[in-house]
C-alpha cells in the first residue's frame, strides 16, 4: 500500500433532478481524474437528490432507491469508467417503504465498480429548527472502518461531527482517514461550528478528516481536509468547486510520536458510573 494518495472533494450543488446530479458527477469525476489525478472522489451527503425543507414526505419516499437502483448503478459504472473510488450520499429505500421514511445512506464504490461499504446515518439532524427524523429513519450501527488502497477509511455523516464518540469509535478501530460527507446548513455560528468541529475531530484522534459539504443558498460549502495535527490542508469556497489534496499517511505516525494523546487515554475511567 502506498502511503500517499490523491483525494478530490466534489463540492457541488445537488438538485431535485437525479439526472442532472448524475451529469454533475460525470463532469466532476472526469475533471478530478484528468486534472488532479484523483484516486478517490468524495461527494456530499444525500448527493443523489436534494429537496427543500418541508417537502412532502411522500415525494422523498417516492424518490428513494435501493442500492441496486439506477443511481447507484450509474455511479458504479462511472467509477469503473474512470478507474477511481467514489464515496457519495443517497436516499436509500427502507425495508418498509410505506412507513414514510427513508435512510440517509453513504455508499463506497471501488474502482472496479463493487460496493465496498455502506453506512446509514445514525444521528439525525433534529436541531436548529430542523427535524430530519420526520423523513429519515436512523441506522442501527456505526460504520466499521474498511481497508482500502488508501489506508483504513472510517466514515460518518454531517451532524455526527457533534458527537465525538463516533469519531473515536472509528479511530479505535484503526481508521487513518475519516470521510465526512455533509450537507451543513447555513446559519448563525454554523460555519464557525463546521470548521472547528472538523478540526478537533482530526486533532483529538490524530487522523485525517476529509469533510465534503454541499453548497447552495441553503448549504454553506467550505469543504476541508484537516491533518492529524489539526492543520487545514485544503479549504473550499462557498461556490461549487473541485478541491484536491494529497494525503500522506506517514504523517499520522509522525504526529503521534510528538503528540501521543490517543495512546494516553485511560478508557477504564470513562465508563465509570456514579
Digit-coded pLDDT (tens) for 147-180: 999 999 999 999 999 999 999 999 999 999 999 9
R_g of the chain computed on alpha carbons: 18
Query: Residue 98, SS3?
Result: helix
Characterize 20-30 residue by residue with b for buried, 16 or more Cβ atoms within 10 angstroms of its Cβ, and e for exposed: ebbebbbebbe
Alpha-carbon distances of 60 from 8, 52, 56, 136, 215, rounded to whole Å: 29, 10, 7, 9, 20
Q: What is the pLDDT of residue 97?
A: 56
* 253 among known catalytic residues: no
Place 270 in a pLDDT band, splitting at 50, 70 and 90: confident
Instruction: Return all residues near 266 (Cβ < 8 A) that are at least 6 apart.
Output: none
Catalytic residue among 158, 160, 176, 245: 158
Identify whether 45 is a catalytic site residue. Answer: yes
Cell for 159?
A: 451532524
What is the rounded average pLDDT of the residues 212-216? Answer: 96
- Cell readout for 102 is 427513508
Say what the pLDDT of residue 1 is: 63
Tell me the pLDDT tens digit for each residue of 90-108.
999 987 655 789 999 999 9
Task: Give catalytic status of residue 121 as yes or no.
Answer: yes
Reply yes or no on whether the pLDDT at 274 is more than 60. Answer: no
Catalytic residue among 13, 18, 24, 45: 45
Q: Which residue in 121, 176, 212, 245 is the catalytic one?
A: 121
Amino acid at each position: 500500500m502506498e502511503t500517499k494518495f490523491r483525494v478530490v472533494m466534489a463540492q457541488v450543488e445537488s438538485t431535485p433532478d437525479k439526472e442532472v446530479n448524475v451529469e454533475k458527477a460525470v463532469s466532476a469525476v472526469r475533471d478530478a481524474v484528468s486534472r488532479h489525478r484523483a484516486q478517490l472522489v468524495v461527494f456530499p451527503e444525500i448527493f443523489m437528490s436534494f429537496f427543500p425543507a418541508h417537502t412532502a414526505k411522500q415525494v422523498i419516499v417516492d424518490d428513494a432507491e435501493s442500492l441496486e437502483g439506477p443511481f447507484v448503478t450509474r455511479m458504479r459504472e462511472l467509477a469503473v469508467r474512470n478507474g477511481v473510488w467514489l464515496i457519495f450520499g443517497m436516499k436509500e429505500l427502507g425495508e418498509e417503504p410505506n412507513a414514510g421514511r427513508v435512510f440517509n445512506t453513504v455508499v463506497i464504490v471501488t474502482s472496479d465498480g463493487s460496493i465496498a461499504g455502506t453506512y446509514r446515518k445514525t444521528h439525525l439532524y433534529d436541531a436548529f429548527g430542523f427535524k430530519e427524523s420526520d423523513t429519515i429513519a436512523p441506522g442501527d450501527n456505526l460504520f466499521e472502518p474498511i481497508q482500502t488502497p488508501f489506508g483504513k477509511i472510517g466514515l460518518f455523516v454531517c451532524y455526527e461531527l457533534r458527537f465525538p464518540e463516533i469519531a473515536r469509535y472509528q479511530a479505535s478501530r484503526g481508521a487513518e482517514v475519516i470521510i465526512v460527507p455533509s450537507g451543513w446548513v447555513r446559519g448563525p455560528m454554523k460555519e464557525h461550528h463546521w470548521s472547528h468541529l472538523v478540526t478537533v475531530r482530526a486533532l483529538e484522534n490524530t487522523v485525517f478528516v476529509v469533510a465534503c459539504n454541499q453548497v447552495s443558498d441553503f448549504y454553506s460549502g467550505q469543504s476541508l481536509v484537516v491533518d492529524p495535527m489539526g492543520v487545514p490542508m485544503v479549504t473550499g469556497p462557498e461556490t461549487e468547486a473541485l478541491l484536491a489534496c494529497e494525503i500522506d499517511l506517514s504523517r499520522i505516525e509522525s504526529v503521534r510520536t510528538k503528540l501521543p494523546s490517543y495512546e494516553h487515554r485511560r478508557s477504564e475511567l470513562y465508563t465509570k458510573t456514579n
